[in-house]
Structure 1
Amino acid sequence: MSRFIVFVLDGFGIGEMPDVATERSQDIGSNTAFKLLSAFTDKRLPTLEKLGLNNVVGCKTSAMQPVSTACVGKSQLKHEGCDTFAGHQEIMGTKPKKPLVKPFHYSIDKIEHSLHSEGYTVNRITRSGQSLLMINDCVIVGDNLEAELGQVYNVTANLSEISFEDVQQIGRVIRNSNDVARNVVFGGELASNQNLIDAIEVKGECIGVNAPKSGAYDKGFKVIHLGYGVDRLVQVPEMLNAKGISTTLVGKVADIVQNPHGTNFMKISNTDEICRISIEEIAKSETGFFCINVQETDLAGHKQDPESYWATLEKADQGLSEILKILNENDILIVTADHGNDPYIGHSKHTREYTPLLAYGKQVKGTSIGERLTLADIGATVCDYFESNPPQFGESFLPRLIQ
């Protein structure tokens, strides 16, 4: 029996994509991993070092060294921009579609009407000619200012004033009233509702709450991602379920990937808890697919906080060391990312970067996985490993891993 584990360090990119200069000029010079290794030169991440991190990062000033026996590569992002939701759907074998760009003001009337119909108190707040909605004085819905502008709506709540369960009900009303690819429903325990109002910003056609500025991430953070138009029937969990293979999702991936037949640990962002749950689930299972997302790296990038980013990497590295201890002869581990989030770039958005591919297993060859054209190659490799039907998209690199 065997297990395949995909460990996603959210936002841990390894250098700008070739199209950044023309498609995302604000990301020119982005290189999340290289800058972190360059800043913390005397510190090491021993497990990631063993897996070959500095083979793909190439930071000569770091205490971390390349490892000749490591199996490494990198992946391009096939989806436009650099979005967590799109990245994880791609990892699961979905062929990315051109995202709908529809700033919030195009949807505000329909959303407002739906909320009124459900009995919510709704007020408009206007800044520089753009309006968003405040619900029951403690929840604001508008554009997501951290992802690609106009492609995601945020529902940001003060969880000191309203339960997360009630916020999710509001989120479902909003989700049913718009057709952008993702709605993010989240909040934190804020000192005052004024924190939300003071964090409202306008960027071009878009208006929303600057989530890091609001303090939503700082205390009691909870989140769920509500997608639109993603076909789970062509993704890895469905392919494996048809084969009788168990699937376990831990962390943010469980919030954004549909896995109705498997085990899901949702609404968890604490890295120590994510690693603890993952280790326990892997240890008690003789076979199956596991996908784990460490989100606090991404949150540190949004806050432009390198120290917090490195501290999270250290926690994740320790968790990975425990996972390595319980791998059996046939297990495979892949460490990767979904995009970049350079904490030195000077803006609070994701950065469009290559992602690392670090493969490990007792049967895995020390070789090059090469440069993959899409994150979906990971999902295709998982399905190939379990001899299931392939997902919608991607090319397996399993032959490069094992004889």
Structure 2
Amino acid sequence: MNRFIVIVLDGFGVGYMNDAKVVRPSDVGANTCKHILEKNPQLKLPNLEKLGLMDALGEEVGSLKLQKKATFGKAELAHLGADTFMGHQEIMGTLPKPPIKESFMAVINKVYEGLENKGYKVQVKEGKEGKFLIVNDALTIADNIEADLGQAYNVTAALDIMPFKDVLAVGKIVREYSRVSRVITFGGENVTLENILNAVEEKGNGFIGINAPKSGVYNKGYQCIHLGYGIDPEVQIPTILGKSGINVTLLGKVADIVSNEYGKSISCVDTEEVLKLTIKEMNSMDKGFICTNVQETDLCGHRENVEEYFKKLSIADKYIGQIIEKLKEDDILLVMADHGNDPTIGHSKHTREMVPLLISGEKVKKVSLGIRNTLSDVGATVADYFGFTCPEHGTSFLDNIV
């Protein structure tokens, strides 16, 4: 076995899931792929087309045609909602536990005590309705006010005062006492505690947090790790492979949100850059696992910008073609998504959609995988490819394709 490469086109779904009618009614009718192609029927995506994108979609749209020979399927989301973080944990072999939505106020006392018991200097900062914590005069712990309220807590740090590894240690303590889906630990350089405190905003009902862009933490030396509820890295592909000495490289947003203690993780947002990094990694890796997240497709969905989505898909398609050309005899490439983000649906949030599974390799059979009931089937297949027992969740389809 040589290399297994997964490229996640973030937010590129192929049709809303049946349960959306009950759990996310605003997503009924969503079909990111179809609606984008309908808006530009002349759009050419020759490499995704050849991989069987229309076959996964189930119909021809615009200039793109069904293929007589392709290896394709679709996968449903097993996690609740439609979330990039949860989606990637699921891909890596985890079935995340259902989180609880609550403000940081619900756990502030427990977190305060936990940090004090570990020897940290902790201060309570009060707003008009809410409260948050300041730790070692270097970071704040508060609500994430950029996502849906109650979904996450932010640990926002001045990295010139506290190095990121120490910030992460604080984040892990917060995670221990929290039941929300994510504790996001991040920070930047050339930022002071005063800069962070000047970006405090209140959203009512006790929700209070830091406006991250306003604080300046993104401007220089930004580092970030997302800590998820019910996530055990020990049962995920990067740890399973990495502990056994197999090379693991995570590129793009997946580097921020999936634990990869034994491998290489490189954060990157630009589509062309992250796919060039993928090719560079292929050139230097004889055996191993690469997972690349193409984030800008998702960002275009959030902005409800169809024209920009066209452009990012075209760039991705170009480099996917180059990646296919570099596949060795035993290599497998799998192109997929983590959820939908239909820019035409009428709201700017993710959409609960099935995702395509498009597979290429010299020894890969031309078959339909049908509809898989979890993204974790990808992680299980990666484990199987390298000769390991499947991770916590998912069923391998390796025998179906080779």
Q: TM-score per shorter chain, which class?
A: 0.7 to 0.9
Residues 244, 133 of structure 1: alpha-carbon distance in 2 compared, 3 angstrom cutoff: closer
Aligned ranges for residues 18-33 of structure 1 at < 5 Å? 18-33=18-33
Residues 44, 98 of structure 1: alpha-carbon distance in 2 compared, 3 angstrom cutoff: same
User: What are the ranges of 5 or more consecutive residues in structure 1 without an aligned counterpart?
Assistant: none
1:66 aligns to what? 66
- Aligned with residue 173 of structure 1, among 162, 167, 170: 170
Q: Distance in 1 between matches of 2:161 and 2:347?
A: 31
Task: Tell me how far 1:195 sits from its aligned partner.
Answer: 9.7
| Bigger Cα displacement from structure 2, 104-113 vs 390-399 | 104-113
Q: Distance in 2 between matches of 1:99 and 1:305?
A: 30
Q: For the Cα contact (< 8 Å) 1:201–1:209, is it kept in 2?
A: no
Residues 196, 336 of structure 1: alpha-carbon distance in 2 compared, 3 angstrom cutoff: farther
Task: Tell me how far 1:110 sits from its aligned partner.
Answer: 4.8
For this pair of structures, how many residues does the alignment match?
A: 391
SS of 2:100 mapped into structure 1: coil
SS of 2:293 mapped into structure 1: strand
1:375 aligns to what? 375
Aligned ranges for residues 28-107 of structure 1 at < 5 Å? 28-58=28-58, 60-107=60-107
Q: Distance in 1 between matches of 2:206 and 2:250?
A: 36
Q: For the Cα contact (< 8 Å) 1:243–1:388, is it kept in 2?
A: no
State the one-letter code of the partner of 1:11: G
1:258 aligns to what? 259
Q: For the Cα contact (< 8 Å) 1:44–1:63, is it kept in 2?
A: yes
Residues 289, 298 of structure 1: alpha-carbon distance in 2 compared, 3 angstrom cutoff: same
Q: Distance in 2 between matches of 1:342 and 1:17?
A: 13
State the one-letter code of the partner of 1:250: L
Residues 115, 289 of structure 1: alpha-carbon distance in 2 compared, 3 angstrom cutoff: same
Q: State whether structure 2 residue 330 is matched by structure 1 residue 352.
A: no
Q: Distance in 2 between matches of 1:397 and 1:103?
A: 41
2:151 aligns to what? 151
SS of 1:237 mapped into structure 2: helix
Residues 193, 209 of structure 1: alpha-carbon distance in 2 compared, 3 angstrom cutoff: closer
Deviations 1:248-299 (A, max 9, x none): 211221222222222222x322222211111111122221111111112222
Q: Distance in 2 between matches of 1:260 and 1:92?
A: 14
Q: Distance in 2 between matches of 1:193 and 1:243?
A: 41
SS of 1:370 mapped into structure 2: strand
Task: Tell me how far 1:153 sits from its aligned partner.
Answer: 2.1
Task: Tell me how far 1:345 sits from its aligned partner.
Answer: 2.9
SS of 2:262 mapped into structure 1: coil
SS of 2:356 mapped into structure 1: strand
Q: For the Cα contact (< 8 Å) 1:167–1:185, is it kept in 2?
A: no
Task: Tell me how far 1:361 sits from its aligned partner.
Answer: 0.9
Q: Distance in 2 between matches of 1:294 and 1:355?
A: 14
Residues 350, 181 of structure 1: alpha-carbon distance in 2 compared, 3 angstrom cutoff: same
State the one-letter code of the partner of 1:88: H
SS of 2:43 mapped into structure 1: coil
State the one-letter code of the partner of 1:79: H
Aligned ranges for residues 3-22 of structure 1 at < 5 Å? 3-22=3-22
Q: Distance in 1 between matches of 2:219 and 2:63?
A: 34
State the one-letter code of the partner of 1:286: D
| Bigger Cα displacement from structure 2, 68-77 vs 54-63 | 54-63
Q: Distance in 2 between matches of 1:58 and 1:363?
A: 24
Deviations 1:217-258 (A, max 9, x none): 997676432334422222212332455432221122122222
User: What are the ranges of 5 or more consecutive residues in structure 2 without an aligned counterpart?
Assistant: none
Aligned ranges for residues 302-317 of structure 1 at < 5 Å? 302-317=302-317
Task: Tell me how far 1:68 sits from its aligned partner.
Answer: 1.8
Q: Distance in 2 between matches of 1:131 and 1:206?
A: 8
2:237 aligns to what? 236
SS of 2:153 mapped into structure 1: strand
Task: Tell me how far 1:210 sits from its aligned partner.
Answer: 7.7
Q: For the Cα contact (< 8 Å) 2:9–2:338, is it kept in 1?
A: yes
SS of 1:176 mapped into structure 2: helix
Residues 134, 382 of structure 1: alpha-carbon distance in 2 compared, 3 angstrom cutoff: same
2:227 aligns to what? 226
Q: Distance in 2 between matches of 1:187 and 1:38?
A: 41
Q: For the Cα contact (< 8 Å) 1:133–1:142, is it kept in 2?
A: no
State the one-letter code of the partner of 2:314: E
State the one-letter code of the partner of 2:291: C
Q: For the Cα contact (< 8 Å) 2:12–2:298, is it kept in 1?
A: yes
Q: Distance in 1 between matches of 2:22 and 2:340?
A: 17
Residues 241, 60 of structure 1: alpha-carbon distance in 2 compared, 3 angstrom cutoff: closer
Q: Distance in 2 between matches of 1:171 and 1:297?
A: 29
SS of 1:293 mapped into structure 2: strand
Q: For the Cα contact (< 8 Å) 2:124–2:131, is it kept in 1?
A: no
| Bigger Cα displacement from structure 2, 86-95 vs 243-252 | 243-252
In percent, how many aligned pairs have the same letter?
Answer: 43
SS of 2:353 mapped into structure 1: coil
TM-score where L is the length of structure 2: 0.83
Task: Tell me how far 1:163 sits from its aligned partner.
Answer: 5.0
Q: Distance in 1 between matches of 2:160 and 2:373?
A: 38
Residues 65, 132 of structure 1: alpha-carbon distance in 2 compared, 3 angstrom cutoff: farther
Residues 195, 316 of structure 1: alpha-carbon distance in 2 compared, 3 angstrom cutoff: farther
Q: For the Cα contact (< 8 Å) 2:138–2:161, is it kept in 1?
A: no
Q: For the Cα contact (< 8 Å) 1:137–1:193, is it kept in 2?
A: no
1:290 aligns to what? 290
Q: Distance in 2 between matches of 1:165 and 1:339?
A: 37
